[in-house]
Structure 1
């Protein structure tokens, strides 16, 4: 098992719960999230930047 630092851009959602669900779904595609944080919001583009630490099995590659 290895850990990876990743960043992702997520479209802002109508509610905080929907945003959290969208973030968690995107991170699951890249591994098992250990922690994550919204580090920037671009209100003009309606995008949130998320930084996360995820774990993946050693034989699985992560495409960034």
Structure 2
């Protein structure tokens, strides 16, 4: 397994309770997420940074 630092931009939802699920769904596409944090919010977009594991090639 290899660790990767990844970033993503997530559109903010009308219902803030849905935001963690939306973030996790997007990050899971890129690997097995160890942790994530919202690091910046602009208008209707949240910037998320995460550490993820991916299988070695």
Using the size of structure 1 for normalisation, the TM-score is: 0.84
The number of aligned residues is: 57
Match of 1:9 in 2: 9
Please, which runs of 5 or more residues in structure 2 have no aligned partner?
none
The 10-residue stretch of structure 1 (28-37 or 11-20) with the greater mean CA deviation from structure 2? 11-20
* Greater percentage in strand: 2
TM-superposed deviation, 1:55: 0.3
TM-superposed deviation, 1:37: 0.1
Aligned-pair RMSD on alpha carbons?
Answer: 0.8
Please, which runs of 5 or more residues in structure 1 have no aligned partner?
60-64
